[in-house]
Structure 1
Amino acid sequence: MGPHARWTDVGLGVATVAVVGAAVTANVRGDGTPAVAYLFAVGFGALMWVRRSQPVLALVASGIGLLGYYALGLPPIGLALPVGAALYSAAEAGRLRWAVGSAAALVVISSVARTLGGEDPGYLYAYELPTTVAVMAAVIVLGDGVHTRRLWRAEVGARLAEEAERRVQHERLALARDLHDVLAHTVSAVTLHADVAAEALDDGDPVAARTAIGRVRQASGGAAQELRGTLAALRSEADGVSPPLGVLARLGDLTAGAPVDLTVEGRERPLPMVVDATAYRVVQEALTNARRHAPGRAVRLTVSYRPAEIGLRIVNDTVAAPAGPHGYGLRGMRERVGLLGGSLRAGPAPDGTFEVTATLPAEAVA
């Protein structure tokens, strides 16, 4: 418990002592005021010290103390004033039934005892009882309201924490996909060009070998650049560094040194960044699979700009078995596209080729 809460308890205790002490001093009966009455006032206030750790104990002790006070014939101090703080504390701590039950028991016991004692029923039931019940109900409702609001805040906090954790997991998954896409494409490109270099050396063609080795260097450098960009974006979006974007702007990096026939349909236009990046990754993964399972075979890539979407079609001239249905590549492509409300299909085409088609919603951006 912090210092603020402790000072609040002290304030409630002092207020209880002051209010009950004032009622004792007023002594509407007009007879003498025994000093023991003030000790009761101090006792009611002292119970506020344990109202947080033992709210039921503070409430029960206050009720028993109040009954004992009246049993000794001490000056009247009402019902609500001595136990109001205890009722509030019990309701605030979530002990609503205890608060309501204790208040009802005190009202019933007091009313019966005072009626049997000969007090005026008109004054007792028409004025004092409604006032007492109203005050008790008010402090109980107030305490329960504070308790309910605290629970609501805790629930909201838990939901925010859960949402933050979900976003972290989403970012981790996105990072894993990016790393897989970059590294898988790079490894495939490096393997392909290394094989070309080896064959060129065997054929005594150093120029072709140097060209292939240059392609290896280019692919490795591009992968390193993309990884640096991804890590920089994770550090701070405010730095203005983004993951590699641009379907057409970067397609040359993907198709370099490979037999890819590129066709663009429709009028090119800027795309939303997330759509642009997703389209790029789909093309990258599809070309990687083609190089892995059908190396050297021609690939046809079609990018179609439509009014409200962009279509991608990657076709291998020879059927190539892609990563299995549980592979990270194909599953990652489907997840990426699905998150944007698009669709993706990958499988053998009727003409005997292997085809990957994807459609992404892509309204034009300024």
Structure 2
Amino acid sequence: MLLAVGTFALVAAAVASHGGPAGAAAAGYGFAIVFGALALFASRRPVPALLAAATCVVAYYMLDLTPIGLAVPTAAVLYAAAEQGRVRAAAVVAGTLLAASLVARLGEGDAAEIVLGVDLGAQVALMVAVIALGDAARSRRSLRAELSRQAAAAAEEQRAEAARQVEAERLRIAREVHDTLGHAVSVVTLQSAVAQEALADDAPEDALAALAAIRAASGGAMAELRATLGTLRSSGPRGPVPGLDRLPELLAGVDHGGPPVELHVSGRLDTVPAVVSTTAYRVVQEALTNVLRHAQATRVDVSVRVTEDRLSLDVVDDGRGVAPDRDEGGYGLRGMSERIALLGGTVDVGRAGTGGFRVHADLPLPGSTG
């Protein structure tokens, strides 16, 4: 709107300053209105506005009206076209008008030094300036739009990353709770059956031992659950995370009243990093939980092998050889696979070669290349 008003005002002022017949002045003011309207129209349809402005300039001078130059009536249209990205079209129209004016004035006998000197230089400078200004405005607008787009993309990425972190933490907590409580409940169920049979057989010592195992399993589960809840509340130090050093304790809870469990260790467990040690412990815990729930086994072998760059473990039972967690949707095996995948390891579950079921996990140790 400001460009349209400014164009009208400049053309009208140029017409008024030269005076002349009333009819010519009225026509000049009419063209001033047209040039102002074209400046307003150029922001929506720049190329048609450019062509219309050039046509009006030619018509204006063919009617031999008051001289107003070339830049004054077309500057706003040239600026608007350049701002809309039509720099080449604006330059072509401006160059065509200048060339036509130059030929016409020289043909009418105007002095070449005047036409080619100050007049031409001023007109060229003004037209180039408004085109460059419009292009600069377009560039700034595009830059602001790009910066806004990048800021929006960065904000969206931050939101997505926050959502990923929340989801990862949710899955971690789900795995911790499943592994801890699932194993404890399995031990409690097994030992409860042992205690019930012992009482029925009038064997109080066996019943007391089973109750002690229940108490130990539930106490351990509560300790780990408190540690998990404490982490969620971010209050107080987190309790120690179980690792391979606690395997004998874990196996003892299964061995008492359940199938005998034999542990085979090769290599130094104290060289295994804590995160790998904890993951391996959870894998053995989940595998033993599945043995108690599903296998109906009479024997379990747990093997842990530590080399310079790998840790591998096997949990093999002689039970029915059916897939564990089938009735639960496979949450235990899924959590096991997720834990190992996070450390770049692999897990394989299936029937053992000698019957029963086998869980095999392989984990790289930090600094290994294989």
TM over 0.5: yes
C-alpha contact 1:312 1:359 (8 A) present in aligned 2: yes
| Residue 223 of structure 1: aligned partner | 221
Matches within 5 A, 1:132-143: 132-143=130-141
| Residue 191 of structure 2: aligned partner | 193
RMSD: 4.6
| Residue 267 of structure 1: aligned partner | 268
2:361 aligned with 1:358, yes or no? yes
| Residue 298 of structure 1: aligned partner | 299
| Residue 8 of structure 1: aligned partner | none
Measured after TM superposition, the shift of residue 207 of structure 1 is 2.1
| Residue 245 of structure 2: aligned partner | 248
Measured after TM superposition, the shift of residue 309 of structure 1 is 1.7
| Residue 21 of structure 2: aligned partner | none
| Residue 204 of structure 1: aligned partner | 202
C-alpha contact 2:187 2:253 (8 A) present in aligned 1: no
Tell me the amino acid that sits aligned with residue 232 of structure 2: L
1:364/1:136 CA distance change after superposition, 3 Å: closer
SS at match of 2:231: helix
| Residue 348 of structure 1: aligned partner | 351
1:222/1:133 CA distance change after superposition, 3 Å: same
Matches within 5 A, 1:1-366: 99-101=84-86, 120=115, 123=120, 126-236=124-234, 240-241=237-238, 244-249=241-246, 251-258=248-255, 259-295=260-296, 297-323=298-324, 327-363=330-366
C-alpha contact 1:269 1:364 (8 A) present in aligned 2: no
1:170/1:311 CA distance change after superposition, 3 Å: same
For residues 331 and 299 of structure 1, the distance between their equivalents in structure 2, rounded to whole angstroms, comes to 22
Measured after TM superposition, the shift of residue 363 of structure 1 is 2.8
C-alpha contact 2:217 2:253 (8 A) present in aligned 1: no
1:251/1:167 CA distance change after superposition, 3 Å: farther
Question: Which runs of 5 or more residues in structure 1 are unaligned?
Answer: 1-12, 48-55, 89-98
Q: Deviations over 1:326-364 (max 9, x none)?
A: 511222212221232111112222222422111111237
Question: Which runs of 5 or more residues in structure 2 are unaligned?
Answer: 19-28, 61-65, 106-114
Measured after TM superposition, the shift of residue 108 of structure 1 is 5.8
Tell me the amino acid that sits aligned with residue 246 of structure 2: A
SS at match of 2:212: helix
For residues 181 and 216 of structure 1, the distance between their equivalents in structure 2, rounded to whole angstroms, comes to 17
C-alpha contact 1:261 1:301 (8 A) present in aligned 2: yes
Tell me the amino acid that sits aligned with residue 275 of structure 1: V
For residues 79 and 147 of structure 1, the distance between their equivalents in structure 2, rounded to whole angstroms, comes to 28
For residues 239 and 44 of structure 2, the distance between their equivalents in structure 1, rounded to whole angstroms, comes to 60
Identity in percent? 35
1:189/1:78 CA distance change after superposition, 3 Å: farther
| Residue 108 of structure 2: aligned partner | none
Q: What is the number of residues matched between the two proteins? A: 325
Tell me the amino acid that sits aligned with residue 227 of structure 1: L
For residues 309 and 242 of structure 1, the distance between their equivalents in structure 2, rounded to whole angstroms, comes to 27
| Residue 95 of structure 1: aligned partner | none
Q: Deviations over 1:127-150 (max 9, x none)?
A: 333333322222211211221121
Tell me the amino acid that sits aligned with residue 302 of structure 1: S
1:363/1:112 CA distance change after superposition, 3 Å: closer
Tell me the amino acid that sits aligned with residue 146 of structure 1: R
C-alpha contact 2:82 2:132 (8 A) present in aligned 1: no
SS at match of 1:256: helix
| Residue 5 of structure 1: aligned partner | none
> What is the TM-score with the length of structure 1 in the denominator?
0.69
For residues 242 and 109 of structure 1, the distance between their equivalents in structure 2, rounded to whole angstroms, comes to 79
Tell me the amino acid that sits aligned with residue 176 of structure 1: A
Tell me the amino acid that sits aligned with residue 256 of structure 1: G
For residues 305 and 245 of structure 1, the distance between their equivalents in structure 2, rounded to whole angstroms, comes to 18
Q: Deviations over 1:34-65 (max 9, x none)?
A: xx9xxx9xx9xxx9xxxxxxxx67999x99xx
Q: Which moved more, 1:207-216 or 1:318-327?
A: 318-327
Q: Deviations over 1:67-95 (max 9, x none)?
A: 9xx9998897687789969976xxxxxxx
For residues 105 and 323 of structure 1, the distance between their equivalents in structure 2, rounded to whole angstroms, comes to 74
> What is the TM-score with the length of structure 2 in the denominator?
0.69
C-alpha contact 2:347 2:362 (8 A) present in aligned 1: yes
1:81/1:57 CA distance change after superposition, 3 Å: closer
C-alpha contact 1:319 1:353 (8 A) present in aligned 2: yes
For residues 252 and 73 of structure 2, the distance between their equivalents in structure 1, rounded to whole angstroms, comes to 90
